[in-house]
Amino acid sequence: MKTRSIRTILAAGVLAGAALLLPAAPATAANPPYADCPGWALCLYQHGGGTGSKAVITPASGNVNLYSVHFLNGDLANNQVSSWLNNSTCQVKFIDDPAHYSDLDFTPSNQYGARGDWAGAYANDKLTTVQFYCP
């Protein structure tokens, strides 16, 4: 009986030691594309296909300059957006340079879930301003 409990203790110790030597599995898997965008927001993604870090913007009528908007990873969103998801009821214009008013994209009002992906396209990493028209 005594031998069996010593073997059990030794086996548990070996397993615990092995667990310390093996790298831990990641705590969470990567987010799926266009993940976790609130139902009232416009989400801008750093990479194509709704991947990478995101910036969440609360729609309000008017312009939002991306010089003051950051992705969740801390990077400035200006000229760094590759895709977007509009979960608001607002119409949105995506503008490259408000001084010269170069439209990059557009989504009409009440198009909940509308998406855009600019990876590999002219508009990739050019967005400086979003313009909202909310009903």
| pLDDT tens, residue by residue, 17-40 | 433 333 333 434 467 899 999 999
Q: CA–CA distance from 10 to each of 7, 16, 17, 20, 127 (Å)?
A: 5, 10, 10, 16, 61
Dihedral of alpha carbons 12, 14, 16, 22, sign:
negative
Whether 51 and 66 have beta carbons less than 8 Å apart is answered as no
Amino acid (1-letter code) at residue 68: S
Q: What pLDDT score does 135 carry?
A: 83
Domains delineated in the chain: 42-133 (2.60.20.10)
Q: Give pTM, 2 decimals.
A: 0.76
Q: pLDDT category, 70, cuts 50, 70, 90?
A: very high
Q: What pLDDT score does 101 carry?
A: 73
